[in-house]
Structure 1
Amino acid sequence: MRAASKRNQRREINKIVGVYALFGSAWIYLSGYALIWLVSDRHIAEQIEVYKGLMFIMVTSALLYQLISRFAGRLAESVDRLEQSEARFQAIYHNVNDALFIHDAATGQLVDVNRTMCEMFGYTPEEAHSLTVGELSLGEPPYTDEDAWLLLQQAASGPPMTVRWRSKKKDGSLFWSEVSLRRADIGGSDRIIVLVRDITARHEIEEALQQNEEILKVLMEEMPAGVGWADESGRVQYLNSYVSDWLGFVSEDRPTLEELMQRALPDPAYRDRTLAPWREEIGKTTLESGTPITPLEAKISCVDGSSRHVILNTRLVRHRLLFTLTDITKWEAMQQEVLKAQKLESLGVLAGGIAHDFNNILTGILGNLSFAELLLDQDHPARGAVKNAEKASQRAAELAHQLLTFSRGGQPIKKVVPLGRLLQESLTLALHGTKVQTRLNLQEGLHAIEADEGQMNQAFSNVIINACQAMPGGGVLTVTAENLPLAANNSQTLPPGDYAKISFSDEGCGIAYEDQKLIFDPYYSTKPGGSGLGLASVHSIVIKHGGRVEVTSAPGAGTTLTFYLPSAGEAVAEEAPRQPERNTKAGEGTVLVMDDEEAIRTLTRDMLQYLGYQVVTCATGEEAVSLYREAAQAGRPFAVAIMDLTIPAAMGGKEAAQQILAFDPAARLIVSSGYSNDPVMAEHAEYGFCAAVVKPYRCDELQQALERVLSAP
């Protein structure tokens, strides 16, 4: 601006000089020739010459006055405008909200600062001019003196730049600033203009936003649900780790929603049936509306081969389709377990109510048949019919035993059982005479389990029989057993510890999705004429052993039933079964029989008399205690007392045994009951009994129990 002003001044001066020279030259030239032409008298011409000179001076003076006055007026206007411009510049320079520094481009020395800089940094104008860039910075990389000089050099030789800087005030406090550097020519000198803006508030907001974004991202990754969103074209933009783990996609893959659903629901018929209302509702709703879509339940297939029951929630917001997949597999399993427990409890009341009478009836039938078989000669024509009737009664007893599995409060009679042997025995018995082939895979060092061998054999057999029925034309049943440690919060919802995992996989027709959650319900069967007790008893047995059973199936792709049973620790050596020693001599002594059923009392009396014992019978626990006391006081104590565990509306065997043992600790007592799962039957020794016989019992079973008790010290 100063150079332009000087140029204008020179231009005005040149104009004044030019006008004066032109006018003077014209005056002298024209007035001289005019005088020569008009005046011939020399004396008069000289006088006119004098007046002409005076006139020239007056006219040129007036001309110069006019020219110089115009020049001075313009100069005054220019100076006034310059002063106003300078005032405006100073007002803007010192009153902007940003601190301004002017540095020499060659040396980097600070030339000038504005008033805002002094207020922002806390220095006086005199102090500010003597500052170095290092004194205005944090002093630690990347905010050191050397870093600042490097930025000044880059700005002096390159384009304008803006950086974020950690600035320092006079009192040593630090604040975040945005620094803009630009090269400029000021008064013919090469300068660097540095603008410093305090962005502390903005930086705090950005940090808060970044922190919230990180928290939101962590929340999205850690929340126990699959989360994602897609754009309005249906291209997925984000998937959290849950969806990635389940379906194998990551956000970088950018699948479409349709591709996502195809992988989640591979069965086309099931996918179309499940997603039809969801697709229709999305098609009728605009992306800008933000309207939530009706939640949808589906069973998705994961890349690891597992399946999960999820609820799909969808919302259309700001040109995005947000969706969450909430895994309710565990919750549903817990709900199903609660429902199953309630159903089994109800059934247990029924089973417990009829078990006593049913087993008493079966005891009378089976006992009399076995007793009749002993009384018949080997070649008697009725012996075959009695044998067949006995087998039919045993099948009825097995059915009663399945019903009793559901009764309340009972626990299995557990012992350490080698799992490999138990599986082989179950397969051999259940597959005899079928077309099904077996593939048995046992892990080396397979742990034993602590289980009721009879109940667990029943559970395995029921599963094997179901697999055979699913493959009527033959096939391969693959049984795999392995050790499996489970951590806390495992997907099976079991307590942490060591377990045995047993899988039965068939090649049958599979189970429909809607039937899978019902197969463990009592009396529910997918087979025409089925009782629905097979898998229900399996479920009850496994639960009472502290384990879990799961089903995985797809229509046409076979079925896998998987058991998780608590391990008994390291593997146990197989022991050859020991045959009980039979005592063929006649029984000696008197046996007290207490049972509320007259038919059973009569049957038991006849069998014991056949075996050589004397027998006294009674119907209640009160009578048994009284008879036992009277016999002991008379010096004719009973050798053994066989007592029914449960007597309706009277004292049962448990209470009677306590009273008998109170005055005769050496009493030999045998408990009898149809409740094979009753705690007293499972742990009879803890209640003072020497042995237990389960109704319905046969003559030889009763004889063996008596011989064991009488031969024991």
Structure 2
Amino acid sequence: MTPPEPGSRNPTNPSPSISAGGPMPTADRWERQYRGLVDILTDAVFLVSAEAPAGGTILEANAAAAALHGCREGDLVGKLFSRLHGPETEPWISQVRAQGGAQLQTEHLRADGTRRPVQLRATRIPGAGPGQLLVVAHDLTGSLAVEQATREREALLAEVEQLANVGSWDWDALLQKTHWSTQLRSFLDFDPSAPPLSIEQFVEEFVLPDERVEWLKRWHQSLQQPHSISWEGRIRKPSGLIRHVRCRTHSEHTPQGTVRRVMGTVQDITEWKEGERLRLSLEKQIQQALKLDALGSLAGGIAHDFNNILGAIMGNAEVAQMDIPPNHPAAEAVADVIQASKRARELVRRILSFSRQEEGTRSTISIDELLQESIGQLRATIPPEIQIVRELEEGLPPVLGDASQLQQILVNLCSNAVYAMRGRGGRLLFRLRRHVVPPTTQRLPGGLQPGTYLRLTVADTGEGMSPEVLSRVFEPFFSTHPSKEHPGLGLAVAHGVVKGHGGVIEAESEPGRGTSFHAYFPALPVRPSSGAEPPLPRGNGERILVVDDEIPVLESLKRMLLTLGYQPRTETSPEAALRQLTADPRAFEGLIIDLSMPGMSGLELATHLRRLCIPAPVILNTGFLSAEEAEALRSSIMGRVLTKPNTLRELAEALSQVFTP
């Protein structure tokens, strides 16, 4: 390659190596130095004519240029430079000739027809003949491949971060620069064009105040020694939304112990946290269900024995009531015993239903009586600094409902009110009134249909609720209570029960002014009283065999049957009863058999009798009916089942039904 004239300015070797004050190098020596310098360059170097008519002709090219083109040295001389590159090269040469220098990214067309990306840099050489350009071509093949691979890796990393809800950052200690990934900026709602914050700035702007000290402590731990650190915390986004995050850092240090680099990730685990809270809450519910199941089994056994005791008390009291005149001094006391026995019987049934050992049934219920009874039971659990106020309207109609479920509503609403007044006392109001929704009403609470309802209000003077909390108060598992105390199901259950009874429940609250819950239950139409109860159905001397292992129950039933006009006979052993009936199938016109007896159950005895074609109808009498026994009875064809303790009327009506053709 012919060098420029000695003494001219050479862009690739602007300062010839000469001794200060020494002789100028000869032309031959200058050319050797210049050619040696050009030939050792790894970039392709072209000496191109800039004058017409040979404008753009290659005058010289180094070995790297021949390698780039894929030919022998010297083969490039005389070729047009623009034909070896893209069409934009020819105007670019004119630009270089006019401006003295320029750059261009284009493609080089190799001898085999393939193309390679190149970066061209050119300058005009003054004093080098009739206008010459020195062009350096840098092969970009390797650089572009690296850039493409880098972009692909960055795109893959961004996709992985998005799938995992993870954003990453990198801090260079030497340059004191921080880099945030695209996903981190997106998660934080951070301006994509803004420079990333320092760690201290990030903590100040995003981390909740009560956690900032802990975050900075973790950061300083990363600076002190090379290890990985992980912790969880909360951040507040610019929108005010609080998210749970898991942070991890990994630091790199020099052999001297100086921090060189710290990398970290921030992962959004809010949904995972919510799922974990829900899982723990469900586990607690399962544990509670298991406890209730065990309690139900215990309650079932107690109920059986207790109902037998109540049966003896109630049956004997009713017999005594029929044997004494109304003006007898003991008449009032006997009536009180009967009434107390009935209340005790209903209490046992509610305990069984609450423990899920007895399926709830709908019946006509007086809510005012149920409310009075429930308040009495809840009084012991309410702190003395809370005043209970009752406002119950008189003469209210009944409702059709499940007493145990309705009582559960009262318990849940009362529990919520007491918690709202914890540590401060206050006023707990129970109000029950008739509420009529006329057809012309524009706004119906919760979509109530026109009609008559009973409106139950439970109100407190506690701390109240914000509009945001009030809007979610009936959501399952939503609670402002500590999670270990309340799983957030009480009000959701109350909402479901009220809705299941065809009613509506609403809440009103303001911060600092307490909360009121209003539950609406459809009222039953009040039917005119038919007067006194009809007379008891009586027997005509029918022979009745009573089989029960409890002697007090046998004696009570015997007296009741005698009072009703039957001829009772008692037996404590089901096996003895079976032998007696096997010997004389027509010895009795009716059978009353206890369901739960040792050795042989009442159902087994009744099954044996049916196989023997004993004609006498069977009444099964039980103090407690398990789910398995209930299913067995449903699948059998037994005539009647009585639940202990039996009233005189229940017994009389059951016998009348089985003896009526």
Same fold flag (TM > 0.5) = yes
Q: Partner of 1:697 in structure 2?
A: 646
Aligned counterpart for 1:185 among listed residues 96, 100, 124: 124
Q: Does 1:216 align with 2:160?
A: yes
Aligned counterpart for 1:88 among listed residues 37, 47, 59: 37
Q: Partner of 1:14 in structure 2?
A: none
Q: Is the 8 A contact 1:437 1:477 kept in 2?
A: yes
5 Å-filtered alignment, 1:405-484, equals 405=353, 410=357, 412-413=359-360, 429-430=370-371, 435=389, 453-466=402-415, 473-474=427-428
Change (3 A) 1:110 1:230: closer
Query: Cα deviations across residues 606-659 of structure 1 (Å, max 9, x unaligned)?
Result: 22332333434333544454455455x33x5644x4433322x42213333433
Q: For residues 161 and 130 of structure 1, what CA distance do their matches in structure 2 show?
A: 21
Q: Does 1:587 align with 2:539?
A: yes
Q: Partner of 1:36 in structure 2?
A: none
Aligned residues: 537
| More moved, 617-626 vs 280-289 | 280-289
List alignment gaps of at least 5 residues for structure 2.
Answer: 10-21, 252-261, 376-387, 393-399, 433-443, 449-455, 465-478, 501-508
| Letter in structure 2 aligned against 1:606 | R
Q: Does 1:653 align with 2:592?
A: no
Change (3 A) 1:577 1:202: farther
Q: Is the 8 A contact 2:417 2:460 kept in 1?
A: no
| Letter in structure 1 aligned against 2:150 | E
Aligned counterpart for 2:284 among listed residues 336, 341, 347: 336
| More moved, 653-662 vs 326-335 | 653-662
SS at match of 1:4: coil
Sequence identity of aligned pairs in percent?
21
| Letter in structure 1 aligned against 2:404 | Q
- Displacement of 1:329 in angstroms is 0.8
Change (3 A) 1:321 1:123: closer
CA RMSD, 1 decimal: 6.4
Q: For residues 191 and 602 of structure 1, what CA distance do their matches in structure 2 show?
A: 128
Q: For residues 250 and 282 of structure 1, what CA distance do their matches in structure 2 show?
A: 24
Q: Partner of 1:355 in structure 2?
A: 303
Aligned counterpart for 1:386 among listed residues 319, 326, 334: 334
Q: Partner of 2:436 in structure 1?
A: none
Q: For residues 336 and 574 of structure 1, what CA distance do their matches in structure 2 show?
A: 37
Q: Partner of 2:593 in structure 1?
A: 643
Query: Cα deviations across residues 462-499 of structure 1 (Å, max 9, x unaligned)?
Result: 3245457667624589999799xxxxxxxxxxxxxxxx
Normalising by structure 2, we get a TM-score of 0.59
Change (3 A) 1:192 1:121: closer
Q: Partner of 1:195 in structure 2?
A: 138
5 Å-filtered alignment, 1:598-637, equals 598-630=551-583, 633-634=585-586
- Displacement of 1:333 in angstroms is 0.9
Change (3 A) 1:285 1:2: closer
Which has more helix, going by share of residues?
1
Q: Partner of 1:63 in structure 2?
A: none
Change (3 A) 1:294 1:646: farther
Q: Does 1:517 align with 2:484?
A: yes
Change (3 A) 1:585 1:504: closer
Q: Is the 8 A contact 2:596 2:622 kept in 1?
A: yes
Q: For residues 617 and 133 of structure 1, what CA distance do their matches in structure 2 show?
A: 125
Q: For residues 354 and 122 of structure 2, what CA distance do their matches in structure 1 show?
A: 91
Q: For residues 281 and 516 of structure 1, what CA distance do their matches in structure 2 show?
A: 29
| Letter in structure 1 aligned against 2:549 | D
SS at match of 2:140: strand
Aligned counterpart for 1:365 among listed residues 289, 301, 313: 313
Query: Cα deviations across residues 212-242 of structure 1 (Å, max 9, x unaligned)?
Result: 4223322332x8xxx899999xx9989989x
| Letter in structure 2 aligned against 1:643 | I
Change (3 A) 1:708 1:162: farther
- Displacement of 1:74 in angstroms is 7.8
Q: For residues 391 and 236 of structure 1, what CA distance do their matches in structure 2 show?
A: 81
Q: Is the 8 A contact 1:643 1:653 kept in 2?
A: yes
Q: For residues 104 and 376 of structure 1, what CA distance do their matches in structure 2 show?
A: 141
Change (3 A) 1:174 1:152: same
Q: For residues 303 and 401 of structure 1, what CA distance do their matches in structure 2 show?
A: 56
List alignment gaps of at least 5 residues for structure 1.
Answer: 9-72, 137-144, 263-270, 439-450, 484-502, 522-534, 546-552, 564-572
Q: For residues 147 and 506 of structure 1, what CA distance do their matches in structure 2 show?
A: 84
| Letter in structure 1 aligned against 2:607 | Q
Q: Partner of 2:475 in structure 1?
A: none
| Letter in structure 2 aligned against 1:586 | R
Q: For residues 373 and 172 of structure 1, what CA distance do their matches in structure 2 show?
A: 121
Q: For residues 654 and 342 of structure 1, what CA distance do their matches in structure 2 show?
A: 29
Q: For residues 526 and 115 of structure 2, what CA distance do their matches in structure 1 show?
A: 86
SS at match of 2:40: helix
Q: Is the 8 A contact 2:427 2:461 kept in 1?
A: no
